[in-house]
Structure 1
Amino acid sequence: MMISNSFLLIFAVAFMGCVLATPLVTRIAIWAGAIDRPDQFRRIHKGATPRLGGLGLAFGLASAIMLVGYGGYLNDWPGVQEWWACQWAVFLAGLIVLMVGFVDDTRSIAPRMKLAGQAFAVLILFAGGIRIQRFDILGMAIDLDGPVIDLSMAGMPLSVSIPSLIVTMLWFLACMNIWNLIDGMDGLASGVGLLVSGTLTLVAIHNQNVGVAIMAAALAGSLAGFLLYNWHPACIFLGDSGSLLIGLLIGIIGVQGSLKGPSTISILFPILAMGLPISDTAMAIFRRWVRNLPLSSADRRHVHHLLIGLGLNPRQAALLLYCFSGFLCGVVLLGVCLKNEMLALILGLSGCLAFLLILTSRMDEFANLRGDFKARIARGRQERAAAKLTWEAIQRIELCEHVAAIRTLLEATAHELGCQVERISCTRNGDEIFAEEEAQSASLPVSAPLSGPSAVFRLSSGKDLLLTVALHQTSETSTAADIAFRFLQRLSLATAERIERLLLTQEEESHDRGEATSGSLGHASSSEPFSNGPRLSSQVSPVLAISTTPSLTRVSLNWLRMTLGWSVRPVVHHSTLGDK
């Protein structure tokens, strides 16, 4: 009975602590410049609003936990000493997350730096013994045993299991960032967090997991107090400091609730309780992947944005999302009472899918996503096919010994990619090496008006040779113009480099034979036209065998940069693309 009353005391102290601290935090946020101003894009509030609510939240939490730890209210609990000994890691990790959020709310930091700060906080938790070593899901017990590394941290020996560290890191980073993403409307993250933490409090009490119940009750009380200020129209926002702290603490509650206590629960139940932020984050990741956008890019397609787009005001949208999150929390309680994970999983997934499908269908977002998904898959096939053709052509060009074969390969590859080579010219030191004003395979004269995408590449070999290639995409092709032209640019650059090496090779041979440099094929006065593709020399093969090796290395590096999305910048490059 003493312990049960302590949970009510914890909730009340956290509630009052946050209520009393938040007005002071508001003044601190104004002084520090942590102000969120409307941008007529994603931020849907009306005026400038402070955003350091995480400090008030942390004060309420600390007040309740300190009262319990030093007030003697849990002396009847045998595990109080063990629980209190682990709180240093929670306190330190929470402090790090608050600092990261404070800097981001006041000065803004890069996403990678923010992620690094979150990862450091997770390492503190791992060192403090809060880690995932095994978990149960759908009746299966999964042990994360694996390679162990013995380390020393602050003079203390530490054994690190690599699988355990990876899973723990992913769990906490996911928890923090899904709450960060859903914090986009007045009262949304704090209200949903109140429902989730309250549900996990009831589950922990039901399973006699006192330590988890203390943390969950303190978080629920602090969120309830903060919601008084965060309800629309909000006086203060959680900010990154608050949303990251909520995610960290709910992650801790989920881990400890599924690993400790007389009757542990499946890790599936905390995941289902967080069904709303997880669903919104999963949709955001899928949406940005389909549209080839960075995961950190902002958009107005989150769940609350869609509800606002349907004509609901912020209060109505928040209440509707509370109802959805309450349904998922009810599913969790039902699954815990009946000890049936499969039933909870089926009900939770069905509810999430139905809600998201109905919502996205009303805004035509589902149809747009389906179309974008099909286009992404088609572009992926085109990218792979174009990459295969181009790479094979580059390797063949490396083996060519005269320009006619190189030009034939270039034209054949362009034709395979649905393009016609309208013009090819090449100069070196201002002297024309070869020129072809009209490609032999072209069906249209250069002077004829062209319809459809076209491009002109002026590429340097890196020394003193300039290759110009004019392309036009035919109407029969199914390859996107930007894909075809991008890969043909790489092929043209490889062509320029190969021609440059052929010229250097012949000049070296001519010099060895004592011939004048002006007699080389690199000048317009050459007795044998270079554009006709004569064989350079009957003795050129040994020299080519030596010069080809660095060439392949250079082209391979260019190809690697292309595959990874790195740009290859020619010295001079002008292109014009028309809409197909």
Structure 2
Amino acid sequence: MPMLGFICAAALLASLLVTPLVIRAATARNLFDIPSDARRVHTRPIPRLGGVAVFAAMVLALLLAMLAGALPSEVSGERSRFFEGILLGGGILFAVGLWDDLRGLPPLVKLLAQCVAASVVFTFGFQVDVISVGPTGELPLGWLSFPLTILWVVGVTNAFNLIDGLDGLATGIAIVALGTTLAVALALGNAEVAIVCVALLGALLGFLRYNFSPARIFLGDSGSLFIGFMLAVLSVHGSVKSATAVLAIVPLFALALPLLDTSLAIVRRWLRGVPLSGADARHIHHRLLAMGLTHRRAAVVLYVVATALAVLGVVLAFAPPAAVLVIALAGGGISLLLLLYGMRQLEYHEFAEAGMVLASGVRRVRRVIQDQIHARDIVQVIRQAETLRHLDAILEDNAPHFGFLGVEVCRETSSCRQRIAGLNGQTARAWKLDYPVTPRLFAEDDPYVLRIWCGLGDRNRPFGAERVARILAPAIESWLVSVGLVQQLSERGNRPLLEAHAGKLQENELEPALHWAARAGELSGGLRESRGMRLAQEAMTLHRARNRR
């Protein structure tokens, strides 16, 4: 339409004329963006009031079109409320951003202002009631319409603000998004969106002349907040294909790059355990510069990526239903591969480490479950052991299943020389776990332990030696008490010696203690379980004392 060309040309000319005036005014008042930290990539002070030039150029172009009667009749009446709402909301964020550029504002105040601006456009009719999720599918939002509108506007506004870190980058990305939105709005007959799009597009094209590397002026918060808000509203309103339904894929792909960069930043900071609102020098454009690209080349690369994603979104939105699935799978697969390759090239090692942990975690969970099931099976076999040597043989046969170098039951002070010799010198690169099996009642006691030898290599590294020991140790203790103690203390030849050294143990106490030991702790003879266990432990201690004599 000639009218759209006139508005775009007017905005372009106004921007080319106003921007130098803003540069001189900002320089005269010393309103610069100072390169004070690592995340700022410029090396000299740059004026930061570019938003004033963009806002003024767009408004002048719209006023000129209105005075010249260039606005079509389709945008009068109910649709004119769109102009009122978007200009009022945009004006609020422009004013807040300008104040932040001049005096500074806390982040919370700017966030509240974004919520207010989003509520304004919602009140003026910017409401997404139904989302189109395919050629024929629609998803009604109901009461979710308002919170999702606020979330979208605030999210896109902040995402655009975050990507404004390289000469000309945010301006170029906005031009790509506006071009996509304009094409979709014209295809769907949304004339009011097309008018605002060409006005803002012309203003940004003129501003890019001074903002591209080496930049003479930056957008500042007055520009990034205002433009981000406009993109959030225009991209959605321009994709309305009926009275209420919105082609959700168009705004998502048109703004894919800033949304992706923000999402990656949030996840990166969460993985690092730093505040999500904190600033860093690891955005996509920072990583491209770290790879050796110049400011110009980094910006152009991101322009191309943003354009490719926007084109993919438009193709998916307007492709024939039969081709949507094929295009979506092909485009999604290529995008995923490029994303993974890009994160690797950009050295986002946070995601590589997270992926390795998640992958190993799945394998680890499955292995732990398998080990614990197998340990429960071994418990059943241990109960059938006849001697301590037999018990050690059972443990030794099953050690490889857990990835252990060896497992045995021995005294705590035992050097296990036979075991060390059997490991063929691997103990120099191994560690051991001594898990208590029997209690230490006196200082001179030498209790039994379950000794597990573990290698250091990935193949031999166990998945939870302590978990396995917690299952096996009670079964081994029960076997030692029920088999070992009873065999030793219940023999007829040992009873006189035991009674001779029993001291505090009486005949009526010895029998229940032995009975408790034989039945692994069950109540017997009217004694409480803890009493029976203590008596059994005393009997074992006395028996060891007799053997030492």
| TM category, shorter | 0.5 to 0.7
Distance 1:21 1:343, change over 3 A: farther
Residue 21 (str. 1) matches residue 9 (str. 2): no
Give identity over the alignment, percent. 34
2:110 counterpart (107, 111, 114): 114
- Per-residue CA deviation, residues 260-297 of structure 1 (Å, 9 max, x unaligned), is 66897512111111111111111111101111111111
Residue 90 (str. 1) matches residue 86 (str. 2): yes
Paired letter, 1:371: E
Residue 125 (str. 1) matches residue 121 (str. 2): yes
Corresponding residue of 1:362: 345
Between 1:370-379 and 1:332-341, the stretch displaced more is 370-379
Corresponding residue of 1:185: 166
C-alpha contact (below 8 Å) 1:50/1:235 kept by paired residues: yes
Distance 1:72 1:108, change over 3 A: same
Distance 1:26 1:355, change over 3 A: farther
- Per-residue CA deviation, residues 385-443 of structure 1 (Å, 9 max, x unaligned), is xxxxxxxxxxxxxxxxxxxxxxxxxxxxxxxxxxxxxxxxxxxxxxxxxxxxxxx99x9
| Structure 1 residue 174 displacement after superposition | 0.9
C-alpha contact (below 8 Å) 2:26/2:49 kept by paired residues: yes
Give the secondary-structure state (helix, strand or coil) at the position aligned to 2:74.
coil
Give the secondary-structure state (helix, strand or coil) at the position aligned to 1:17.
helix
Whole-Å Cα distance in 2 between the matches of residues 142 and 61 of structure 1? 35
| Structure 1 residue 254 displacement after superposition | 2.1
Whole-Å Cα distance in 2 between the matches of residues 99 and 362 of structure 1? 40
Whole-Å Cα distance in 1 between the matches of residues 146 and 28 of structure 2? 39
Paired letter, 2:7: I
| Structure 1 residue 33 displacement after superposition | 4.5
Corresponding residue of 2:289: 308
Corresponding residue of 2:61: 64
Whole-Å Cα distance in 2 between the matches of residues 130 and 263 of structure 1? 10
| Structure 1 residue 83 displacement after superposition | 2.7
Give the secondary-structure state (helix, strand or coil) at the position aligned to 2:142.
coil
Give the secondary-structure state (helix, strand or coil) at the position aligned to 1:78.
helix
Whole-Å Cα distance in 2 between the matches of residues 245 and 342 of structure 1? 36
Whole-Å Cα distance in 1 between the matches of residues 83 and 199 of structure 2? 14
1:99 counterpart (95, 103, 119): 95
Whole-Å Cα distance in 1 between the matches of residues 90 and 206 of structure 2? 19
Whole-Å Cα distance in 2 between the matches of residues 86 and 368 of structure 1? 43
Larger radius of gyration: 2
Residue 172 (str. 1) matches residue 168 (str. 2): no
| Structure 1 residue 48 displacement after superposition | 0.2
In the superposition, the TM-score normalised over structure 2's length comes to: 0.61
- Per-residue CA deviation, residues 367-400 of structure 1 (Å, 9 max, x unaligned), is 4433256679999x9xxxxxxxxxxxxxxxxxxx
| Structure 1 residue 67 displacement after superposition | 2.4
| Structure 1 residue 342 displacement after superposition | 4.8
Whole-Å Cα distance in 1 between the matches of residues 333 and 53 of structure 2? 37
Distance 1:257 1:48, change over 3 A: same
Which segments of 5 or more consecutive residues in structure 1 lack a partner in the other structure? 147-162, 382-439, 444-475, 479-580
Whole-Å Cα distance in 1 between the matches of residues 225 and 320 of structure 2? 31
- Per-residue CA deviation, residues 78-127 of structure 1 (Å, 9 max, x unaligned), is 34333323322222211110111112222322211110111111111122
C-alpha contact (below 8 Å) 1:136/1:267 kept by paired residues: yes
1:296 counterpart (256, 263, 277): 277
Give the secondary-structure state (helix, strand or coil) at the position aligned to 1:294.
coil
Residue 30 (str. 1) matches residue 27 (str. 2): yes
Distance 1:352 1:114, change over 3 A: farther
C-alpha contact (below 8 Å) 1:69/1:84 kept by paired residues: no
- Per-residue CA deviation, residues 481-537 of structure 1 (Å, 9 max, x unaligned), is xxxxxxxxxxxxxxxxxxxxxxxxxxxxxxxxxxxxxxxxxxxxxxxxxxxxxxxxx
Between 1:304-313 and 1:24-33, the stretch displaced more is 24-33
In the superposition, the TM-score normalised over structure 1's length comes to: 0.58
Distance 1:371 1:235, change over 3 A: same
Distance 1:182 1:342, change over 3 A: farther
Residue 271 (str. 1) matches residue 252 (str. 2): yes
Corresponding residue of 2:541: none
Distance 1:41 1:93, change over 3 A: same
Give the secondary-structure state (helix, strand or coil) at the position aligned to 1:258.
coil
Q: How does 1:509-528 map to 2 (within 5 A)?
A: none
| Structure 1 residue 318 displacement after superposition | 0.7
Residue 230 (str. 1) matches residue 230 (str. 2): no
Give the secondary-structure state (helix, strand or coil) at the position aligned to 1:259.
coil
Whole-Å Cα distance in 1 between the matches of residues 90 and 31 of structure 2? 19
Q: How does 1:140-155 map to 2 (within 5 A)?
A: 140-146=137-143
C-alpha contact (below 8 Å) 1:207/1:262 kept by paired residues: no
Q: How does 1:76-475 map to 2 (within 5 A)?
A: 77-138=73-134, 139-146=136-143, 163-259=144-240, 266-339=247-320, 342=325, 345-346=328-329, 349-365=332-348, 367-371=349-353
- Per-residue CA deviation, residues 318-342 of structure 1 (Å, 9 max, x unaligned), is 1111111111122133234425565
Give the secondary-structure state (helix, strand or coil) at the position aligned to 2:238.
helix
Paired letter, 2:109: M
Specify which structure has the higher proportion of helix. 2
Corresponding residue of 1:43: 40
Q: How many residues align?
A: 365
Whole-Å Cα distance in 1 between the matches of residues 346 and 128 of structure 2? 40
Corresponding residue of 1:528: none
C-alpha contact (below 8 Å) 1:134/1:259 kept by paired residues: no
C-alpha contact (below 8 Å) 1:35/1:50 kept by paired residues: yes
C-alpha contact (below 8 Å) 1:306/1:360 kept by paired residues: no
Whole-Å Cα distance in 1 between the matches of residues 71 and 319 of structure 2? 29
Whole-Å Cα distance in 2 between the matches of residues 223 and 253 of structure 1? 15
Whole-Å Cα distance in 2 between the matches of residues 307 and 86 of structure 1? 39
Whole-Å Cα distance in 2 between the matches of residues 377 and 188 of structure 1? 36
C-alpha contact (below 8 Å) 1:102/1:241 kept by paired residues: yes
Corresponding residue of 2:486: none
| Structure 1 residue 35 displacement after superposition | 1.3
Distance 1:347 1:52, change over 3 A: farther
